[in-house]
Chains A and B, each alone.
Chain A
């Protein structure tokens, strides 16, 4: 009989290896699923290759897909880094999508109110304003939790729907393009040089938001490795009573964690609206705020892990699009593949926390 025994020290080896195993299991079961869907197992391998390999290395796709990889991964990573800070402390901000929307609205408002003046200061002001928008939106559930003990999961999630309605309202009203012939949607910031989040290197996909995301990875890594605040966050999540005994104020931790994740999500929204999206529209948000939750866990709440997980997740999006186009696979099957990835990662987690022992009769 096989028996599970909880490890006293978490295995570093398995922490590194299980994500790789999970990816391979996802590929195998994904191939099985595609085989069944297409009724042809010989092309199942092709589908997997189309999703995981071709976007990076096939000459037909790579020129389009590689820059897209950064464009998609950038905001996901930036948001996931923010979320991981809270998740480590046991503070569950589920509403990054709403903070992302508010960041975009706040940031775009600065540009739209100054249009058409040109100044080098406009873009930095937009970044600050976008960060502020996300910060304020995340502060609502944080303060409600601190003062009224509400559940931040519910409040932050519900505020996503409020944010979506604000987005619909401003894109038809306050921020609507006066020269847009009455159609909903703001001016396109791509046509406003001072406000445009342009590519730093042409055709690389590398815009300021991607750079900020990489910077956030490095800062978060440093925060948890060396900084008192990172330590306080970890201990608050590991052993709340011990954190309290240490003298760490739980309210401050809640406000810091929620505020930081909102701030980064808001910045991600701003970079998106000023860059790849270009304008505030009713369908501006595309679920990055929710995908980032998966990415944060896929990356084990570890900044480097999140970087890799964000890139991997972006790859499945782009590869998935290609596979849909080339093989006619349903969009839901790609989502299923992403779900499998999370499932296998959590399932293989058992190796890091437990050891297997055989027991004689």
Chain B
């Protein structure tokens, strides 16, 4: 019988208006990979923040080994042998790996010694990483390795990982899992936070499931079906998007020889991108963020201009048109960054509706805004896409990330665009809302629109897309019929090589 490493007993934590954790109790054994499962807002983050000392519980107690444990700050938790890899990395692009790691240490050794240590640790755990490399040039997977190695250097007993695979390619996921299993073999424990059921069933020994701040169940994931776990998480069964086979019409959006130099120092330039999307088709563009996704979106939205014939809609050249002119002919985009790009943080939802509304029913010929009509539009978005907000006059920044995402997507889809381009449509929204957003994208395509979905989430792309291609390092693969692709094919595409067979033109 394995000994208990960390014991949580009746942990509760409240914020104004919400009970984030309500009497949560569970235990993590030594040498166990323990999954913490739940929807967005279920209280997973709050719980691990308390274990890591970023917050303190209102009531309840924790025991580490046989001692009472109540870290008042992260450094105390680290001293007790707890390390955490966050979902969003806190790394400096302009510094190298060793310098970044030294910055996070209390008493960093000399850089030379540290570099040697990094190499030793990275070799022994199968995480190849050069200590002299500039972080700005690393892929997301490599950045995560920096964070993991930073943790391993402290020789922790418990490693907390928050959504570790959300930014990784399938191959990187494989490497990560090998590392985790090796750590487990050494008797270390891992608290693994995720909502991806398949991977949890693959590597976790035990799972605790949270919903609305309460522990609603636990299971041994290997012996439980994904459907059962999913229903425990959501508390009800929800339908996954239904796709009908649609007949594709004529070519609607055509991009030829698109190359742009990025303006961002750490951005990626696009080189010679060609693709087309037909009426009724959903094209999925996979690949890890930072490989030209933002640049591609800005070229399609009109924020970045190209020569006129580079981008065509129904053979009409639009490469020079501004974003509002493109909307006027039915092409709309939803960028990934919600606050500050898709929406203005300090402005109200009503004013944010106006960002992508230009038609005569909201602004008359003298430039007077018809706020009554804008308000009606906002009301429609909020009700149809279930945006939770106290009033329509709330500032965009006061909404949670998921709600704002629903607002931004709803704002564009309700305008029934002929061409819709979206980057990360369900980033940060809960499973039910994600299903709804995906369904509305499918419905849009069924109504004779062409859709381009850029996403890091391969499951999502395979759920809704008809054709699939990958953007790596500013280059885009040919698009392929999703039904013809095996997971090895996807791996090859993600690695930047092209499959020299059926592209969708011949499919």
Contacts and interface: CB of A to CB of B under 8 A. Distances in A.
A227 B368 CA distance: 5
B344 interface: yes
B394 A9 contact: yes
B323 A239 contact: no
A247 B322 contact: yes
A13 interface: no
Contact of A227 (B322, B351, B369): B369
Given A8-B395, A238-B347, A246 B369 contact: no
Interface string B296-310: 000001110000000
B343 interface: yes
A226 B368 contact: yes
Contacts of A8: 395, 397-398
Given A8-B398, A228-B369, A247-B302, A238 B335 contact: no
A279 B368 CA distance: 41
B21 interface: no
Contacts of B358: 247
Given A226-B369, A239-B344, A239-B345, A245 B355 contact: yes
Interface in B345-361: 345-347, 351, 354-356, 358
Contacts of B363: 228
A240 to B, nearest CB: 9
Interface in A204-259: 226-229, 231, 234-235, 238-239, 241-249
A39 B344 CA distance: 53
A35 to B, nearest CB: 42
Interface in B453-500: none
B371 interface: yes
A308 to B, nearest CB: 23
B341 interface: yes
B323 A247 contact: yes
A242 B368 contact: no
Nearest to B339: A239
Nearest to A240: B340
B380 interface: no
Nearest to A361: B72
Contacts of A244: 303, 323
A239 B371 CA distance: 21
A239 B356 CA distance: 14
Tell which of A8, A10, A241, A247 has the most Cβ of chain B within 10 Å.
A247
A89 to B, nearest CB: 13
B163 interface: no
A245 B398 contact: no
Contacts of B346: 10, 238-239
A329 to B, nearest CB: 42
Interface residues of B, number: 32
B154 to A, nearest CB: 28
A328 B285 CA distance: 77
Contacts of B397: 8
Contacts of B301: 245
A228 B323 CA distance: 16
Given A9-B398, A235-B355, A239-B340, A245 B335 contact: yes
Contact of B355 (A10, A226, A242): A242
A245 B367 contact: no
A248 B324 CA distance: 8
B345 A246 contact: no
Q: Is the interface of A mostly helix, strand, loop or mixed?
A: helix
B325 interface: yes
Contact of A235 (B324, B325, B344): B344
A328 to B, nearest CB: 48
B344 A238 contact: yes
Contacts of A247: 302, 322-325, 327, 358
Contact of B323 (A227, A235, A238, A245): A245
B437 interface: no
Nearest to A242: B344
Nearest to B399: A8
B342 interface: yes
Contacts of B323: 244-247
Interface string A154-180: 000000000000000000000000000
Contacts of A243: 344
Contacts of A231: 351, 354, 369
A224 to B, nearest CB: 11
B343 A242 contact: yes
A229 B367 contact: yes
B389 to A, nearest CB: 11
Tell which of A9, A234, A245, A247 has the most Cβ of chain B within 10 Å.
A245
Contacts of A249: 322
A241 B341 contact: yes
A245 B354 CA distance: 12
A90 to B, nearest CB: 13
Nearest to A244: B303
B338 to A, nearest CB: 10
A245 B343 CA distance: 9
B340 A241 contact: yes
Nearest to A248: B324
A244 B363 CA distance: 18
B333 to A, nearest CB: 8
Given A239-B340, A242-B342, A242-B344, A228 B394 contact: no
A344 B302 CA distance: 44
Contacts of A228: 363, 367-369
Given A241-B341, A245-B301, A245-B303, A226 B371 contact: yes
Contacts of A241: 337, 340-341
Nearest to A223: B367
A229 B327 CA distance: 19
Contacts of B302: 247
30 contacts: A10-B395, A226-B371, A227-B368, A227-B369, A228-B363, A229-B367, A231-B351, A234-B351, A235-B347, A235-B355, A238-B344, A238-B345, A239-B340, A239-B341, A239-B343, A239-B344, A239-B345, A241-B337, A241-B341, A242-B341, A242-B344, A244-B303, A245-B335, A245-B341, A245-B355, A245-B356, A246-B323, A246-B324, A246-B355, A247-B322
Interface of A: 8-10, 226-229, 231, 234-235, 238-239, 241-249
Given A239-B345, A242-B343, A247-B302, 17 more contacts: A10-B395, A227-B368, A228-B368, A228-B369, A229-B367, A234-B347, A235-B344, A235-B351, A239-B340, A242-B340, A242-B342, A242-B344, A245-B323, A245-B355, A246-B356, A247-B358, A249-B322
Interface of B: 301-303, 322-325, 327, 335, 337, 340-347, 351, 354-356, 358, 363, 367-369, 371, 394-395, 397-398
4 pairs of A and B residues whose beta carbons are closest in the complex: A247-B324, A239-B344, A8-B398, A247-B323
